[in-house]
Structure 1
Amino acid sequence: MHTAVKIAPRYSNPVIYVLDASRSVPVVASLLDPNQKDEFAQDIAEEYEEMRQEYYDGLEEKRLLSLQAARNKAFKINWQMSPPAQKPAFIGTKLFDNYPLEKLLDRIDWNPFFQVFQLRGRYPNRGFPKIFDDETVGAEAKRLFDDAQTMVKQILKNNSLTARAVVGFYPANSVGDDIQIYEDETRSTAVKTFFGLRQQNEKESDEPYYCLSDFIAPRETGLPDYLGIFAASAGFGADELSNKYRDDQDDYSSIMVKAIADRFAEALAEKLHEDIRKEYWGYAPDEELTAADLFAVKYHGIRPAPGYPSQPDHTEKLAMWDLGDIAKQSGITLTESLAMEPGASVSALVFGHRESKYFAVGKIDKDQ
């Protein structure tokens, strides 16, 4: 939608959104094929025009509350009855270098992997492993999965990919819509501020208007609270291996390497978050959840990522990277547009309160 509304109208040539870089191959192939380019570009242009019209029609229907009105209807936690999570096991950062990929194998969510190759089962055979039973794509999905397992074994045998992560915890309190990070437990000196965005789209129900700062104890309560961060990557070595396959004219394997690295990175994020809940922060030491429970977000606490619905501002990564010295410690860097390098990387803020929840900020007004 953002591409259709904000970007495409500013260019005379085709502008096409792809969900993931690894899916760009068929799009580029269509654009380079003189027999397909014009029709393909026209189809996209017509689709984007319909999306723009839908977007502008929606604007007429939606009302935005003023920022002050939204703040007046903010989510309120009774901090005396439901205090912040306990103090983490350490304050500051911890580096996980050369994290064993073998520990992540049972954490991999394979569903997005098939989407990279544009394989989708139809109901009731959507998702992994039901996709193997689909009449249309089942056989191809099984072959793809088997090839991926072979490549995973090769990666593990040859140590082709390296996983690395940084986890950090810091004294924190909310001040209005923002979250202040303090130098030490005296909380007298703020060293960083994470700027929250509050929902403003008018709601028909009595549901509150959320902001991430709602889940951190306000400074005026006098209660000590904490904020966690992490950055994780399983992409070290992925570009080199992918380029090797590409140089050998093996585009299939070149794409698969990056898709597998992405799966390992997401699995590492899942594992780190579990270890945070059970050990490093330790607010859920007795948690026992299945893989399905984890994918269904049945755990306490949340890990919203900058650039995603609960915190759509990518610039918050700058505060994270500076606070945790992430680039120097881990080698995970930020580009000018604040994308993470290596590409197979994940980062997030970590909130421990049991009432914290994911939400979408949505559209905001100029007063915010």
Structure 2
Amino acid sequence: MEKLIRFTLNDLAKITSHRSGEIKFGERIQTVPKEMDTLEFLEASDAEFVLLGIPEDIGVRANLGRPGAASAWESTLKSIVNIQHNRFCKGGRLIILGKIDVSEEMETINELSPASKEDRKTFFKLVEKIDKEVSHIVCQIVKAGKTPIIVGGGHNNAYGNIKGLALAKGKPVNAINFDAHTDFRPLEGRHSGNGFSYAFEEGFLKKYFIFGLHENYTSKSILESIKKTEDKVKYNTYEQIAVRGEKNYIEEMELAEKHIATDAFGIEIDLDAIPNIPSSAMTFSGFSAEQLRQFIHYFGKNRNASYLHICEGAPDLAFEKNNHLVGKLIAYLITDFMKAKAE
């Protein structure tokens, strides 16, 4: 875990706002003590969940998207530590591990343009470097008997999450993706649009379900590619459920669960599926935040749910007065997952 910047008790104290008569999450959240080895602490701690940040948007830029996703981690931290510790959800169940150090890679891309073919190759290589760190740390968290909660960053990190879980389990794993896009694009070099296709091609991803795909933004070639693997890769569309009423939201969750929940699986959440959430591919049409919360609760309570990844939120793209709202939403999603696992 060389590239891990551990979150300290001092970091926690700086962003936790105390109020008389209240107990904030930050007053109960666990951090790795300075004197302790990270893995030893993870194995010894009674907390079930480990929060990891990946503050980058290199994969988004490599996919020709708008930058901004790197800012979600700090926004999330400020929100999660200041929610209430109470009988519904207890801060002591969560360890804030820290963030992957991507400062060098983020500095490198300042001199590059994804519009340049040569520069784009460098973007791909930088994403591959991050992949290795993500997969290693996720693998170690799972091996320590904990459930990772990963806050991105771009959706490129789905690859590292899936690979890390598969390595920890010693076999291919499954994934469900709440997303407007498949992220199953061609293997043209690593970016935020092909994390799942790379994981599938390399044998780490066995079964995959895309929930709420937007028909207007899915190419014919990708749909044909999925059709060739329809026993392994399945999907429904937002329009089938919410526009034309051909399918029912609850029933579709049940069908998706049957497809992926027979083995360990990851829950992937792309915030560009929710209307008006600042992201590289922001939308005005999509499922509501409440429906997303229902989704996380439904899949989180399955015993095979093995990690939660929330990505593509970009507070830097929000109106300045409301740039805290992305972190606030992510904090809701994290605690929904924690509550569901408690069931």
TM bucket (normalised to shorter chain) is: under 0.3
Higher-Rg structure is 1
